Homo-oligomer: A and B are copies of this chain.
Amino acid sequence: MIGYGFMGAAHSQAWRTAPRVFGLPRAIEMSVIVGRNEDAVTAAAAKWGWNEAATDWREVVARDDIDVIDIVTPGHSHDEIAIAALEAGKHVLCEKPLANTVDDADQMAAAARTAAGAGARAMLGFTYRRVPALTRARDLIAEGRIGTVQQVRAAYRQDWLVDPEAPLSWRLKKDQAGAGALGDIGGHAVDLVQFLTGQQVSTVSGVVETIVKERPIETERVGIAGRGGDEYGEVTVDDVAIFTGRLTGGALAAFEATRFATGRKNELTVEISGDKGAIAFNLESMNELQVYDRTAPDTDQGFTRVIVTEPAHPYLEGWWPAGHMLGYEHAFSHQVKDFVDAIASGADPSPTFDEGAQVQRVLAAVEESSSADARWITV
């Protein structure tokens, strides 16, 4: 595993947990964790249970005893690491966003297609697809339960930047993080809508904006927010993105990605309206799926709050009895399960790097639209 931040912790927990919960077709060995700071990565290895720590990812990628490279670094380094790993014949699991630019993403996607021919699998970490309620929603929509999709809304709202004194971390620097709220959480919203509907966003119109333009330079990392000092630096990514997309099936989709939604800590909502029904989801109640059936008698219609913890629900066979809730990191274990299953079966895991590159193109089109007076831009 390359990287050891918040995502490093979540992925480590998944690698350790998935083989215990699910019957994986391959044994998991947590071999090496890689970071530039030797002390920090050594501590991370001990804390999260990796056999070794290393500081040079190239050496690790070159090792014969390593089969899988899991990339949890900031987005700007994804392309170099992933392409090297794929060329070395490793299976690659890469955190989102795929890359910070469309060009980088396209190169990664090309590398993945090439590597697939040689048996190396590449998978992108849009983990929310594997929250059982959302996987279930995808299945319901695919089965036609809500009919033709007529309208879509998706919003990812956080509030950790409402405080103008929140420090300038790497997530607020374009050269490292890519695209701010749009790239960090807007990408989740776009991927989720495409995943749920089975359609793509084909054109977009929108606005991307930085609300607080200067912040105290981070002097200490604490959680995702950190602590700042007396010096200020420029925020080079957006705080909020509001955009509308047209899906390939014709429906309009309204999107919001923001770090300024006061009181919304990590609220990813999606609602899909069809001519036969609708589904609605809120990550703050992540074990629940709201399902509306418009074919029921008028007097019986309403949103049904399905607690998605039944043994027959996606991924639930490995967990607890019905009604026992799953948490945030469980989806990472599901991701490991599906990734290892794909490696074992020789199938392409989803989301592919091509899917990730397409999401990057949607986000780039949003930025382009924002710079072009909000005009519609074809992805």
Q: Is A265 an interface residue (CB 8 A)?
A: yes
User: In this assembly, does A117 line the interface, its C-beta being within 8 Å of a C-beta of chain B?
Assistant: no
A322 touches B262 (CB 8 A): no
CA distance A252 to B242 in the complex (A): 9
Contact indicator B263/A153 (Cβ below 8 Å): no
Residue on B with the closest CB to A145? B300
Contact between A302 and B311, CB atoms less than 8 A apart: no
Q: Is the CB of A262 within 8 A of B374?
A: no
Q: Are B307 and A240 in contact (CB under 8 A)?
A: no
A241 nearest CB neighbor, chain B only? B252
Q: Give the bracket for the number of chain A residues in contact with chain B.
A: 35 or more
Q: Which residue in chain B gives the minimum CB-CB distance to A223?
A: B321
Contact A20 B10 (CB under 8 A): no
Shortest distance between the CB of A158 and any CB in chain B (Å): 7
| Pair B48/A20 contact, Cβ less than 8 Å | yes
The answer to whether the Cβ of A306 comes within 8 Å of any Cβ in the partner chain is: yes
Q: Which B residues lie within 8 Å of A260 (CB)?
A: 150-151, 273
A227 at interface, CB cutoff 8 A: no
CA distance A285 to B158 in the complex (A): 19
A17 contacts B by Cβ under 8 Å: yes
**CB of A92 within 8 Å of the partner chain:** no
Please measure, in the bound complex, the distance between the C-alpha atom of A49 and the C-alpha atom of B29, giving whole angstroms: 13
Bound-state CA distance A310–B264 (Å) is 12
Instruction: Give the chain B neighbours of A374 by CB distance below 8 A.
Output: 205, 244, 369, 374-376
The distance from the CB of A87 to the nearest CB of chain B, in whole angstroms, is 32
Q: Known contacts A240-B151, A299-B313: does B322 contact A266 (CB below 8 Å)? A: yes
- For residue A358, CB closer than 8 A to chain B, the reply is no
Provide the residues of chain B in CB contact with A306, threshold 8 Å. Answer: 299-302
**CB of A26 closer than 8 Å to a CB of B:** no
**Are B307 and A305 in touch, CB under 8 angstroms?**
no
- A325 partner residues in chain B, CB cutoff 8 A: 283-284, 286, 325, 327-328
Q: A71 vs B133: C-alpha distance in the bound complex, in angstroms? A: 33
Asked if A12 contacts B20 (CB within 8 A), the reply is: yes
| Contact (Cβ within 8 A) A328 B322 | no
Ranked 5 nearest A-B pairs via Cβ: A265-B323, A266-B323, A327-B327, A263-B292, A302-B306
A selection of 10 A-B contacts at a CB cut-off of 8 Å is A13-B17, A16-B16, A151-B261, A153-B256, A160-B321, A223-B311, A299-B306, A299-B310, A302-B306, A325-B328
Give A residues with C-beta under 8 Å from B. 6, 9-10, 12-13, 16-17, 20-21, 23, 47-49, 136, 146, 150-151, 153, 155, 158-160, 162-164, 205-207, 209, 211, 222-225, 240, 242, 244, 252, 254, 256, 258, 260-267, 271, 273-275, 277-278, 280, 283-286, 288, 291-292, 294, 298-307, 309-313, 320-330, 369, 373-376
